[in-house]
Structure 1
Amino acid sequence: MKSMLKVLAAAAVLAFASSAHATVVTLDFDGINTSGPSDAVQILNFYAGGFSGDRTAPGPNFGVTFTPNAIAGCELGQPCSRGDFLASGSPSGPNVMGFNIGGPAIMNVAGGFADLSLSYASELAASVEIWSGLDGGGDLLATIGLLAEPNGSGQPGCERQAILCPFRSARSDFAGVAHSLKFVGVVQSTAFDDITIDANLPTAGVPEPASWALMIGGFALTGAALRRRRAAVYAA
Structure 2
Amino acid sequence: MHAVRTPASPDNSFEDFERDAVYRAIFTRRDVRSHFRPDPIDDAVLARLLTAAHHAPSVGFMQPWNFVVVRDMGRREAVRDLFLAARNEELPHIAGERQALYRKLKLEGICESALNLCITCDRRRSEGSPLGRWHNPQMDLFSTVCAVQNFWLAARAEGIGVGWVSILDADALKRLLDIPEPVVPIAYLCVGHVREFAARPDLEHSGWASRLPLADLIMSETYAGAGEEALKAACVAPGADR
Which TM-score tier does this pair reach, normalised by the shorter chain? under 0.3
Which structure shows the bigger proportion of residues in helix conformation?
2
Which structure shows the bigger proportion of residues in strand conformation?
1
